[in-house]
Amino acid sequence: MKEQGKNLNIRWLYLAVGVIALLFAGIIYGWSILKAPLAADFGWSADQLALNFTLTMCFFCLGGMAGGVLARRAGIRAALILAGALSCLGFFLTARLDGGSVVMLYVSYGVLAGLGIGIAYNVIISTVNAWFPDKKGTCSGALMMGFGASALVVGNSISVLMENPAIGWRGAFLGLGVVLGVILVITGIVLRLPPAGLELPKPEQKAGAAAEDFEIRDYTPVEMARRFSFWRAFVCIVFLAAVGNTVISFARDLAISVGAQAGLATTLVGVLSVCNGLGRIATGAIFDKIGRRKTMLLANVVAIAAAGVTLLSVLIGSVPLCVAGLCVTGFSYGSCPTISSAFVSAFYGSKHFSMNFSIMNFNLMGASLLATVSSMLLTSAGSYVAPFVLLLALSGVALVLNISVKRP
């Protein structure tokens, strides 16, 4: 009994380790900060740098799938050591760029760093989640909060280092690669799956949480992909994430367009990041409290409000409404990865969670594509109205899909 309690207590250490590792790995979302010196030194265009972020997200998703396979076949330690090596190499090569070809940026940052962080993301989340069958939402939310807060915490620290003449952006990139690589390797050494025979706490039905009307069982990735309910949820989350993905890409310029001062606009990017992190952990806690269905519907309503309030701020040129819109957008965007993780675990079981989650994670690619479409609308229309009308419509369609998701 004493040994059982010791094994259960260690799961909180694993959760803390996972949050710290993802706090550094989440720098992938700090591209708006990291790209500035590359544009200044090499003259690469906004479109070229935007393509790098799209490629990074694509290989991040592919890395997630690779991480699921690697963890199953070679083990957690080997997968995370490889993730650390790829991430470190990616940032090291980026620090050595000479500006001769933007393709080298795509290979170093987009492919290598994207793959490495994608592998780490999947392996850490699936491993730590296995210890918390009774707190799926809270565990996912805490991990996602660490990942989402990286742009603010680590990103701002890197920004300070890049502005230091003695370090510069090359030194900052190199240091980031080394630190991230070391942290992922240490995480691989520390993390373990629950040992066979360990009895973990079972989820309790809380007051106010409606029970799902289906038999819970473990679905293989193929079985999950054959379920129409999975694709409805997948498309729903793509549309919801597109709202945040789009706003993040031009948040500062959006704030300036409605009359905000440059300093306030920059601060609002950080505020959006904070709300993103808060949205992740709050959604996890809400998921455990009121259940999957109500949480997903609530997240959808928040996404509609985010697009609607921000659109209104653009139409009337209101800075306070823009501030509110960015805050709600951050919270909305933060709910998406937590919902993805908790939904897959609740609907399709824990046995094949790693691979199932990596498949669901491809919604990031869809959201990135829609963010690109929104940016094209902004360029062609010369106004933020058109992209926000599109986002409002997509979040409305998502609500219809959301309501229809009832059984695996």
Residue 211: pLDDT band with limits 50, 70, 90: low
- Asked if residue 211 is part of any domain, the answer here is no
- Asked if residue 212 is part of any domain, the answer here is no
- Asked if residue 206 is part of any domain, the answer here is no
pLDDT tens, residue by residue, 144-159: 888 877 877 888 788 8
Asked if residue 93 and residue 18 are part of one domain, the reply reads yes
Answer yes or no: is pLDDT of 203 > 70. no
Please report, for residues 87, 173, 403, the alpha-carbon distance to residue 157 in angstroms, rounded to integers and kept in the order given: 18, 12, 42
Lowest mean pLDDT among 114-123, 201-210, 291-300, 338-347: 201-210
Asked if residue 392 and residue 346 are part of one domain, the reply reads yes
pLDDT value at position 212?
62
pLDDT tens, residue by residue, 257-297: 999 887 787 778 778 877 887 888 888 888 878 888 899 99
If you average pLDDT over residues 203-231, what whole number do you get?
75
Residue 382: pLDDT band with limits 50, 70, 90: confident
pLDDT value at position 329?
94
pLDDT value at position 214?
64
If you average pLDDT over residues 187-213, what whole number do you get?
74
Asked if residue 319 and residue 180 are part of one domain, the reply reads no
- Find the largest Cα–Cα distance for the chain: 67
Answer yes or no: is pLDDT of 129 > 60. yes
Asked if residue 182 and residue 228 are part of one domain, the reply reads no
Mean pLDDT of the residues in the chain = 87
Asked if residue 351 and residue 234 are part of one domain, the reply reads yes
Last residue of a domain, one of 173, 190, 207: 190
Residue 4: pLDDT band with limits 50, 70, 90: low
Asked if residue 257 and residue 168 are part of one domain, the reply reads no
CA–CA separation, 223 and 323 (whole Å): 43
- Asked if residue 207 is part of any domain, the answer here is no
CA–CA separation, 363 and 346 (whole Å): 18
Last residue of a domain, one of 169, 190, 211: 190
Asked if residue 141 and residue 269 are part of one domain, the reply reads no
Name the domain count of the chain: 2
Answer yes or no: is pLDDT of 229 > 70. yes
pLDDT value at position 6?
59
For residue 36, what are the domain limits?
2-190
- Asked if residue 198 is part of any domain, the answer here is no
Last residue of a domain, one of 190, 210, 232: 190
CA–CA separation, 270 and 274 (whole Å): 6
Q: Which of 54, 63, 48, 62 is nearest to 110 (CA)?
A: 54
Asked if residue 269 and residue 146 are part of one domain, the reply reads no
Asked if residue 33 and residue 127 are part of one domain, the reply reads yes
248 vs 370: which has the higher pLDDT: 370
If you average pLDDT over residues 53-59, what whole number do you get?
86
Residue 66: pLDDT band with limits 50, 70, 90: very high
Radius of gyration, alpha carbons of the chain: 21
Asked if residue 292 and residue 186 are part of one domain, the reply reads no
pLDDT tens, residue by residue, 311-339: 999 999 999 999 999 999 999 998 998 88
Residues 6 or more apart whose CB falls under 8 angstroms from that of 267 comprise: none
Asked if residue 361 and residue 294 are part of one domain, the reply reads yes
Residue 80: pLDDT band with limits 50, 70, 90: very high
Answer yes or no: is pLDDT of 363 > 70. yes
pLDDT value at position 293?
87
User: 6: domain CATH number?
Assistant: 1.20.1250.20
301 vs 349: which has the higher pLDDT: 301
Asked if residue 378 and residue 248 are part of one domain, the reply reads yes
Lowest mean pLDDT among 72-86, 95-109, 207-221: 207-221
Residue 7: pLDDT band with limits 50, 70, 90: low
pLDDT value at position 273?
75
